[in-house]
Structure 1
Amino acid sequence: MEDSLRLQSFDQLPSAAQFASQIESRNVPAVFVGCVKDWKAVSKWNPSNGGLGYLEERVGSFMVEAMLSQTAPVFYGDLRSHERVPLPFSTFIGFCKWHRQNVGNSCSINSNSQGHQLGESDTEQGCSTFVDAAPKQIYLAQIPIINAENEARVQLETLQEDIQLPAILEGKNLSSINLWMNIAQARSSAHYDPHHNLLCIVTGRKQVVLWPPSASPMLYPMPIYGEASNHSSVALENPDFSIHPRAQCSMEYSQKVTLQAGDALFIPEGWFHQVDSDELTMAVNYWWRSSIMSSLADHMDAYYLRRILRRLTDREMDQVLLKGSTPTWRQESNVDHSLDQAGQSKDLKRKEQEQHSLLLHELRPCALQALHELVALVHDRVNASDQNQPVSSDSTNGLMCSKTNEQDKTLTTEIFHLEEDPVAKILWILEPGIFKDIFLAMAHNFPRTLEALVLHLLSPVGAEVLTRKFDEIDQQNTEENQNKFYQIFYGVFDNQFAAMDAILNGKESFARQAFKNVLDKYVGGNFDVPKLSVGRDIS
């Protein structure tokens, strides 16, 4: 967990201006200890002080929507795992009273239970569903006290008198204020909210585990097109790492906080949080739109979507390359002799020896070793191809154009990881100056090998590495020197457009795979992205 994302704790409540500029703007969670301890609700709603009777008297039999879950004590956001059923508030309070009286017993609530009895009027009001339900299966979640977006949904407006707007929220355009109340111990599965959230504990205790939005890949968010797109698909209490392997690292990105009655927790939009509540815990939360979301104009959505996806794709490509291992060079006592022995194909070796040995004597030992490795890899590939079909010559100077069979082609075009591609591994660790020297030496001394390397051995990850190295040498050279280098490099190819297409197509294939990874990690859908039809017709 990065230090900049660490949760902050405050014993004194900051002003609204300080909260907005120093806390909210950073989009990092914060705990405000005891900031709502003076609420009337903290004392009046406390079950130990007769709070259940007080609430029943205040609200009465007003109908609320209770969550009934078959997966309790864990409550998942997936609509298939629970249902919302109308229930008189007084009936729910009766269940709470029954639980307090029978805590520790395993019997279920039914028409013969002691304590609250479900009468005929309850059944007529749609409560028969709860007759055989255990207390742990029932949860009041997100019951509106105020709802600015839908006033018709407000169910507990009368409780507003017992709470007071925290000073840090003064001037905020609140979306809603809600009551959360559970009977038995309960867990809300990991999810994020599309609003900023201030969670205030009235009675009981909650333990909250938090993950930043950047940890989404470890939590496998539900598909973006689904009804529960803001929820994790991982059952963190019993994860199946064979299905969700990245979840093994999820706790490395998490932080945990315990909230007592009177405490409040700021949960920024987009932060995943899993909430464990002690029995008979009550909380009130405030939701409001962030300034970023409020300022977004609808006509800019498509642009920002593309920008963000591009940024995530670039980051994914960086991460794939950084995971690559560093190759270990073979130590040769006679590098020039190794170069002579690298080509096992006599025909290829004869063609290479006809070239000038310009620049070879100027190369540093590490550059010679890398050059040896690259030449050997190309020759090995040619020999493997020769076992299946001959190498044809398409030009007077002996263009090595291996008609690679489909199996070899698939092996190359489907390599996206650095550690799987020996060519990319060699190129990745080269300093820009050494990289430039090697390719100039190859262009002068082994042009057919260079051509075969680009046209037949360059994998998607290899193409990405090659172009990144081009960028590095461009940054260290004048425009004139850049032009000279590329003239020599591309001058090797009889068809320069074919070389450019091979490099660009490989690079775009690598980016396409990274984009698919982004969809899987952040959007929650591993789609088959249509392959781009790019490049010139070089037939």
Structure 2
Amino acid sequence: MAGYRKIPEFNDLSAGQFFEQIAPEQKPVVIRGFARHWPLVTAAQQSPEDWVRYLLQFYQGQKARILLAPPEANKRFYYNGDMTGVNYLAGDERVDLFLGRLLELMDRSVYPAISLQNGAPENLLPGLVEDNPTPFFPDVTPRLWVGNEGIVSAHYDGADNMACVVAGRRRFVLFPPAQTGNLYPGPLNFTPAGAPTSLVDLNNPDFERYPRFETALANAYSAELGSGDAIFIPMLWWHHVESLEKVNALMNYWWNGSSAKAATPPSPIDSLNIALLAMRDLSQEQRNAWRHLFDHYLFKQGVDPASYIPEHQQHVLGPISPDYARAIKDHFVEKLKR
């Protein structure tokens, strides 16, 4: 899009190249044709009806969480006017009925935005993932997002994300983590869709109320993806997502950033919440002092502490076995009960 920076694109990229060269840089890239050979994508390129028929061959009667935003929401799943709630309804619905409703709304001129969000395909459509495999993520279970035209405001994920469009078209606008303060993030623990969300309407920004957003826009990236294309969104990169057609779907993979393995708790967002709880009453000078310790031990801005502490005394600074990780978690569970 005009005014936005262009995200680098690749047409052919192996899993080895991606994890060795691209992912460590933590910069977004578009991979055209990432899933072009999937039957899921082939069906979508034929027609919405063919795509729905393909999905239903895996359906066994399960229900999914469905969101519905009325026409006056302008396709945006967001807070209500005074931030006491959200502007959409949510409930459980049979997947086959939801897909039928999606097709029915295609011919309407006025219609709600409906969305199946963050569905587990192994539960909702058993066999779908096995029929559409990728060598990039053999051990990561993907999530499924299906709907008509809709808007999800800028938010971030606590894990690396490969988002693959499997039906329709989607537009992504990305902001680097350094723009966080210019995006006016909303509450950490009350969000429209589970992740902290920018309070600025990208398509109708109020620059008087949110003047720093102009700086964010000057540092934004954008790309439009078609069926079969994928985008790598590094962790903590803000992303505004718009579904551009009346039948849209996306399958995404979240992983822990160091390898193609699923992220495990606790997440970095969990640690942020705990840090806020632990340090909320400290003075600014005290917080500045703690910043130096975080820089040394966690962000390793100077000498790596593991480089001079004997290996047998590194504990959390060194390699951690599954048993030791469990012991650490149990320790903090007990501390947080007090």
Out of 197, 200, 216, the position equivalent to 2:180 is: 216
Residue 82 (str. 1) matches residue 88 (str. 2): yes
The one-letter amino acid of 1:217's match is G
Distance across 2 between alignment mates of 1:260 and 1:229: 25
Q: Aligned residue for 1:144? A: 120
* Partner secondary structure for residue 169 of structure 1: coil
Distance across 2 between alignment mates of 1:243 and 1:213: 21
Relative contact order, higher structure (CA 8 A, sep 6+): 2
Q: Aligned residue for 1:254? A: 220
Instruction: Tell me the alpha carbon deviations over residues 344-399 of structure 1, each in whole angstroms, 9 at most, x when there is no partner.
Output: xxxxxxxxxxxxxxxxxxxxxxxxxxxxxxxxxxxxxxxxxxxxxxxxxxxxxxxx
Q: Aligned residue for 1:287? A: 254
Contact kept? 2:59, 2:124, Cα under 8 Å: no
Matches within 5 A, 1:7-18: 7-16=7-16, 18=17
The one-letter amino acid of 1:193's match is D
* Partner secondary structure for residue 290 of structure 1: coil
My pick for the range that moved more, 251-260 or 289-298, is: 289-298
Distance across 2 between alignment mates of 1:268 and 1:309: 27
My pick for the range that moved more, 24-33 or 67-76, is: 67-76
Q: Aligned residue for 1:162? A: 131
Q: 1:224 to 1:55 in 2, by over 3 A?
A: closer
Instruction: Tell me the alpha carbon deviations over residues 131-170 of structure 1, each in whole angstroms, 9 at most, x when there is no partner.
Output: xxx3x32111111124xxxxxxx333332233112x3335
RMSD of aligned alpha carbons: 3.4
Contact kept? 2:154, 2:239, Cα under 8 Å: yes
Instruction: Tell me the alpha carbon deviations over residues 100-130 of structure 1, each in whole angstroms, 9 at most, x when there is no partner.
Output: 3x25x33xxxxxxxxxxxxxxxxxxxxxxxx
Distance across 2 between alignment mates of 1:299 and 1:48: 42
Out of 291, 295, 320, the position equivalent to 1:310 is: 291
Q: 1:90 to 1:232 in 2, by over 3 A?
A: same
Residue 189 (str. 1) matches residue 145 (str. 2): no
Structure of larger gyration radius: 1
The one-letter amino acid of 1:187's match is I
The one-letter amino acid of 2:144's match is L
Instruction: Tell me the alpha carbon deviations over residues 194-234 of structure 1, each in whole angstroms, 9 at most, x when there is no partner.
Output: 11111111121111101011111111111334345521111
The one-letter amino acid of 2:145's match is W
What is the TM-score with the length of structure 1 in the denominator? 0.44
Distance across 1 between alignment mates of 2:153 and 2:214: 17
Distance across 1 between alignment mates of 2:254 and 2:152: 17
Contact kept? 2:40, 2:54, Cα under 8 Å: no
Instruction: Tell me the alpha carbon deviations over residues 54-113 of structure 1, each in whole angstroms, 9 at most, x when there is no partner.
Output: 32343154211101224240122786233321111111121122123x25x33xxxxxxx
What are structure 1's unaligned runs of at least 5 residues?
107-133, 147-153, 315-539
Instruction: Tell me the alpha carbon deviations over residues 170-204 of structure 1, each in whole angstroms, 9 at most, x when there is no partner.
Output: 5xx53x41111112x21111111111111111121
What is the TM-score with the length of structure 2 in the denominator? 0.68
Distance across 2 between alignment mates of 1:91 and 1:220: 38
Distance across 2 between alignment mates of 1:65 and 1:296: 24
Aligned residues: 265
Instruction: Tell me the alpha carbon deviations over residues 466-502 of structure 1, each in whole angstroms, 9 at most, x when there is no partner.
Output: xxxxxxxxxxxxxxxxxxxxxxxxxxxxxxxxxxxxx
Q: Aligned residue for 2:165? A: 201
The one-letter amino acid of 1:281's match is N
Distance across 2 between alignment mates of 1:158 and 1:289: 25
Instruction: Tell me the alpha carbon deviations over residues 425-463 of structure 1, each in whole angstroms, 9 at most, x when there is no partner.
Output: xxxxxxxxxxxxxxxxxxxxxxxxxxxxxxxxxxxxxxx
Matches within 5 A, 1:23-422: 23-46=22-45, 47-48=47-48, 50-59=50-59, 61-70=61-70, 71-76=73-78, 80-100=86-106, 102-103=107-108, 105-106=109-110, 134=111, 136-146=112-122, 154-165=123-134, 167-170=135-138, 174=140, 176-183=141-148, 185-227=149-191, 230-278=196-244, 279-291=246-258, 310=291
Identical pairs, percent: 28
Distance across 1 between alignment mates of 2:242 and 2:27: 20
My pick for the range that moved more, 223-232 or 88-97, is: 223-232
The one-letter amino acid of 2:115's match is Y
Bigger fraction of residues in strand: 2
